[in-house]
Amino acid sequence: MAPRTGRRKSELPDLYHEGYLEKRSFKDKTARKLWTSLCGNTFYFFNEKRENDYVEKLELCGLISVTDDSSPDPNLDAARFNVQMKNGTIKFTAPNAESRELWKGFIHAVAELKVPLSLNLLPGQLHMLRETVKSEKKRLANPLPEPSPPPAVKTEMPICYYEVPRLEAELLLEREASKGNLLVRPGRDGRSFAISTKQDLDGPVFRHYRILSKPGGGFYIDVEKPVHFQTLHDVVTYMVESTDGNLTPLIIEAQYDKNISFISADNENGERTQQLLPVPVSVPEQPRPVTETKTFDDPEPDVEENPPANDQEEEDVRAHYSPPPTPLARKTPPIPAPRKKLPVKPPSSSTSPTSVPEVLKMISDPERKKQILPAALSELKEKLGQKIKVQD
């Protein structure tokens, strides 16, 4: 048994046949159910169908014989067969007798490069074996260099790209015929791609076209007259438009559950049942009272702190206005100059040189009060004194 090399499924040689087999070698104590791929003349074993890295491989170069195993099996439909190699015997169990015959035919085809005639196979299966022998001879005559990963990454793949081999692509197109009849898949050599289509003409008709990458970038369909494209998306668009929509991309949408459920066990009897998760009841939010908010955009009306009074009010204020008392200056009042004595005349209100209202008016002037008030008082006293003498 050769050790694992670490190459991925897409980097393996041409795939001829695959399926689940129970394998038990001379080193294994128990049988293991593995996904088995016959690529070239080598068996590659995977734990699961969707895994990309194989766990072990078996080269058929040292094949001696392939024989049926008639030992009983708990599964009545299962069919066993033994593959004898130079270094030991490996026991396989196929799902049924028909699957066993087909596996034996592919083993002889790749190991001996001829179609065995002693097997109980259908005409279509014999045709598949003849094509396998041709492909294997061509592969051995033109060995490919160590493959490199495809130039395009998954994020650039079209929506109808599926990582499936040729046979599974046909089954997928047959099963999902109502969702499309064209898909893109990886090529057998791991460095190219392929387009698989399905149409009906007195039965299903499958076609497979190889897509190769160009050294300078881009792709082309490997036919008699190659058609060149920049991306794989352009390849799909060309296939749809050039066939007037008779080819449509296969788009399989994932299904999602509409309700959340869980499985719970009864504490008393341990019975497990599936239950729906209750939906939380949302309480409507109470409306908040609307309050008027004062914005700075609205100008406030101008309010006069002291509105102007009319003319009548202004006169009343002036009539009753009395200036606040002003403290007298500490300076010595000026001494008036001596005046000449005039003949005494009877007092008359009309001939009075300085009437009392004028004096009050002078007194009401705050600017002149400090200078005139002392002199006016002296003059009034003198006139009052003269008036008193005349009356006596």
User: Worst-scoring range by mean pLDDT, 24-28, 36-40, 167-171, 376-380?
Assistant: 24-28
Q: What is the pTM of this model?
A: 0.39
Of 3.30.1440.10, 3.30.420.40, 1.20.58.220, 3.30.505.10, the CATH number of 154-242 is 3.30.505.10
Q: Kindly report, residue by residue over 207-216, the tens digit of the pLDDT.
A: 999 999 888 8
pLDDT at 154 over 50: no
Angstrom distances, CA of residue 183 to CA of 162, 205, 218, 232, 362: 7, 14, 19, 11, 117
> What percent of the chain stands above pLDDT 70?
67
At residue 26, the pLDDT reads 63
pLDDT tier for residue 141 given thresholds of 50, 70 and 90: confident
Please, how many CA atoms are within 13 Å of residue 75, restricted to the half-sphere of its CB?
A: 10
Provide φ and ψ at 201, rounded to 5°: -150, 90
Max mean pLDDT range (22-31, 128-137, 364-373): 128-137
Least confident of 109-113, 123-127, 330-334: 330-334
Question: Alpha helix locations (H) across 337-365?
Answer: 356-364
Mean pLDDT for the stretch of residues 104-132: 90
pLDDT tens per residue across span 33-47: 899 999 999 999 898
Please, which pLDDT band fits residue 241 given cuts at 50, 70 and 90? Answer: very high
Whole-angstrom Cα distance, residue 81 to residue 68? 4
User: Would you say residue 193 has pLDDT above 70?
Assistant: yes
Instruction: Return the closest-CA partner of residue 318 out of 365, 355, 356.
Output: 365
Please give the residue that has the higher pLDDT: either 261 or 391: 261
Integer CA distances (angstroms), 256 to 133, 178, 264, in order = 45, 20, 21
351 — pLDDT class (breaks 50, 70, 90): very low
Backbone φ, ψ for residue 69 (5° rounding): -115, 115
**Helix/strand/coil for 154:** helix
387 pLDDT exceeds 70? yes
Q: How many CA atoms lie within 13 A of 384 on its CB side?
A: 7
The arithmetic mean of pLDDT across residues 3-24, rounded, is 75
Summarize the confidence of residues 362-384 as an average pLDDT: 67
Domain 9-141: which CATH number of 2.30.29.30, 3.30.750.80, 1.20.1300.10, 3.40.50.720: 2.30.29.30
Where does the chain show beta strands of DSSP type E? 15-24, 32-39, 42-46, 56-59, 63-69, 79-85, 88-94, 182-186, 193-200, 204-213, 219-221, 227-229, 261-265, 272-276
Mean pLDDT is highest, among 62-66, 258-262, 304-308, 348-352, for: 62-66
From 36-40, 52-56, 243-247, 305-309, the region with the lowest mean pLDDT: 305-309
Does the pLDDT value for residue 374 go beyond 50? yes
Q: What is the pLDDT of the chain when averaged over all its residues? A: 77
C-alpha 91/C-alpha 77 separation (Å) is 17
Share of the chain above pLDDT 90, in %: 29
**Model pLDDT, residue 79:** 87
Q: Is residue 142 over pLDDT 50?
A: yes
Residue 171 has pLDDT above 70, yes or no: yes
Return the closest-CA partner of residue 194 out of 182, 211, 181, 219. 211
- Enumerate long-range contacts of 367-371, CB under 8 Å, 24 or more apart: 369/326, 370/326, 370/329
Q: Which of 87, 85, 117 is nearest to 101 (CA)?
A: 117
156 vs 116, higher pLDDT:
116
The residue extents of the domains of the chain are 9-141, 154-242, 351-392
Residue 264 pLDDT level (bands cut at 50, 70, 90) = confident
Residue 181 has pLDDT above 90, yes or no: yes
